[in-house]
């Protein structure tokens, strides 16, 4: 099964560049302090809550990500690690918070990440705006970001419980009018109703996580009706979401209900996970067969913001595998 998973052409469509920082770079900052990875890399680790997770993530990542050049170096290593797992297409986001709180040049970050894409891999860069991030001070700068050529789209990040509303709805609309693809994190901490809001009000074209949609069959239907894909991160969910374990992770139920799901790693800096392990977990803990894993990989290319001519060879390859799986 390990070889089978490795052989599949794959996508990674839910990856935070801050949360993907390779541990070697932390060691470079302080070899003693960061001699060993955190306890959250261990199997069975569970964060107390989102604040606990965010504290660890920011505590590490913000020490490193202080310039576009550092984004470039980190992205190059992240993409090389993914390429070694036969990943062919990556969507990655960076946090508007680094512009807001660290004053890093956002346009420079977009260019730096795009320039790090290795041959044979297509990369799309997203700007992640946290709940509360569309404030008066940031709005003009975020408006300007919608004009950046190298920016593929935007994503809603951060603490789901912090209220969002009309400003986000208007900005997401503006982003689509500017030709940007719009995503949103939803259904990780807030329930199915927030997934509904992200689809119906915000108009998000892809949902990051979205797994709590399973709590309301009407929202599952809505996702299917709209033909939307969920970018699910199983290991992240197991380590972070209350009540979610490998053996009860709802990706099985969503998949069986006909919802298109991809798998990705979210924040490997914090979870210590690899893309191939996400596939392995689906097989080991939720009984996904080889043919079903092919459908997961296929969903990634179907959802990918690649031109048809570029995605077709990978779809053909996966179809050929599924005939023999
Ligand atoms: Zn995420």
- Are 237 and 14 a contacting pair, CB within 8 Å? no
Strand partners, 157: 130
Q: Report the separation in Å between the CA atom of 295 and the middle of ligand 1, taken as the mean of its atom positions.
A: 22
Q: Give the chain's length.
A: 325
The number of beta carbons lying within 10 Å of the beta carbon of residue 200 is: 12
- How many independent structural domains does the chain possess? 1
How confident is the model over 114-122, as a mean pLDDT?
A: 98
Q: Report the separation in Å between the CA atom of 3 and the middle of ligand 1, taken as the mean of its atom positions.
A: 27
168 as an active site residue: the answer is no
Q: Report the separation in Å between the CA atom of 237 and the middle of ligand 1, taken as the mean of its atom positions.
A: 10
Domain of residue 318: give its range. Answer: 2-324
pLDDT for position 160: 85
Please report which confidence band the pLDDT of residue 125 belongs to, taking 50, 70 and 90 as the band edges: very high
Q: Report the separation in Å between the CA atom of 232 and the middle of ligand 1, taken as the mean of its atom positions.
A: 9
Q: Report the separation in Å between the CA atom of 15 and the middle of ligand 1, taken as the mean of its atom positions.
A: 6
Of 91, 113, 95, residue with least CA distance to 104: 95
Round the average pLDDT of the chain to a whole number and report it.
96
How confident is the model over 128-133, as a mean pLDDT?
A: 96
- The 10s digit of each residue's pLDDT in 242-258 is 999 999 999 999 999 99
Q: Which of 111, 168, 188, 278 is catalytic?
A: 188
How confident is the model over 302-321, as a mean pLDDT?
A: 97
- The 10s digit of each residue's pLDDT in 170-194 is 999 999 999 999 999 999 999 999 9
CA–CA distance from 288 to each of 49, 59, 110, 261 (Å)? 29, 36, 36, 13
Residue 158 has pLDDT above 90, yes or no: no
How confident is the model over 34-51, as a mean pLDDT?
A: 95
CA dihedral 57, 40, 281, 78 (to 10 degrees): 40
Residue 325 has pLDDT above 70, yes or no: no
pLDDT for position 183: 98
How confident is the model over 83-95, as a mean pLDDT?
A: 98
Q: Report the separation in Å between the CA atom of 16 and the middle of ligand 1, taken as the mean of its atom positions.
A: 6
CA 121 to chain CA centroid, Å, is: 17
Q: What percent of the chain has pLDDT over 90?
A: 97
How confident is the model over 202-231, as a mean pLDDT?
A: 98
Residues with CB under 5 A from ligand 1 (ion): 266
pLDDT for position 322: 78
Containing 285, the helix (H) or strand (E) segment is helix 275-286
- The 10s digit of each residue's pLDDT in 1-24 is 999 999 999 999 999 999 999 999
Q: Which CATH number do you get for residue 34?
A: 3.20.20.140
């Amino acid at each position: 099964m390990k070889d089978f998973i490795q052989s599949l052409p794959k996508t990674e469509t839910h990856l935070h560049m801050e949360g993907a920082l390779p541990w070697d770079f932390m060691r470079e900052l302080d070899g003693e302090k960061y001699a060993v990875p955190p306890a959250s890399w261990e199997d069975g680790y569970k964060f107390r809550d989102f604040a606990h997770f965010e504290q660890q993530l920011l505590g590490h990542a913000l020490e490193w990500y202080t310039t576009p050049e550092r984004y470039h170096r980190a992205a190059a290593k992240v993409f090389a690690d993914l390429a070694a797992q036969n990943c062919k297409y990556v969507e990655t986001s960076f946090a508007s918070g680094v512009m807001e709180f660290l004053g890093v040049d956002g346009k420079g970050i977009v260019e730096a990440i795009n320039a790090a894409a290795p041959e044979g891999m297509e990369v799309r860069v997203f700007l992640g705006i946290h709940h509360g991030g569309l404030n008066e001070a940031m709005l003009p700068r975020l408006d300007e970001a919608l004009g950046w050529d190298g920016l593929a789209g935007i994503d809603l990040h951060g603490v789901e419980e912090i209220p969002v509303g009309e400003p986000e709805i208007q900005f997401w609309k503006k982003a689509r009018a500017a030709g940007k693809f719009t995503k949103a994190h939803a259904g990780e901490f807030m329930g199915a109703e927030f997934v509904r809001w992200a689809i119906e009000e915000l108009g998000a074209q892809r949902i990051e996580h979205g797994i709590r949609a399973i709590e309301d069959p009407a929202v599952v239907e809505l996702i299917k009706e709209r033909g939307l894909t969920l970018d699910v991160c199983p290991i992240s969910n197991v380590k972070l979401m209350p009540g979610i374990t490998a053996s009860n992770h709802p990706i099985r139920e969503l998949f069986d209900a006909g919802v298109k799901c991809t798998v990705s790693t979210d924040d490997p800096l914090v979870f210590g996970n690899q893309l191939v392990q996400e596939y392995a977990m689906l097989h080991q803990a939720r009984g996904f067969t080889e043919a079903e894993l092919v459908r997961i990989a296929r969903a990634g290319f179907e959802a990918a913001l690649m031109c048809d001519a570029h995605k077709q060879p990978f779809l053909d390859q996966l179809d050929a595998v599924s005939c023999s799986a």
